[in-house]
Amino acid sequence: MKIHGVERSLAWPVQVTRSAGEVRVRGANAFKFGDYGMAVPANRLILSVVDDVRLEIDLVAREG
C-alpha cells in the first residue's frame, strides 16, 4: 500500500462468504500514522487524536 509517498507491504486478513448469486469479501487492517511518515493530526479544537488508522473493506460481487 502506498500512502504519502511511502510504500509498505500490508497483509489483509479477509472473510469470504458465498450465497445465492453473490460473493462477499470483508476485511480490516490498521496502521499508525508514523508508519507512512505522517504526523498525528493536531488541532487546538480537538483534544486528542489516536495514532491509529483503521481501514475496512466490504465488497459484494453479484452475478450480472
- Does the pLDDT of residue 47 top 80, yes or no? no
Distance from C-alpha of 19 to C-alpha of 43, rounded to nearest angstrom? 46
Return the higher-pLDDT residue of 23 and 64: 23
34 DSSP assignment: G
Q: Given this model, what pLDDT does residue 31 score?
A: 92
Q: Given this model, what pLDDT does residue 16 score?
A: 97
C-alpha cell at 31: 496502521
| Mean pLDDT value across residues 25-51 | 87
C-alpha cell at 28: 480490516
Q: Given this model, what pLDDT does residue 29 score?
A: 94
Record the pTM. 0.68
- Provide the pLDDT confidence category of residue 62 given band limits of 50, 70 and 90: very high
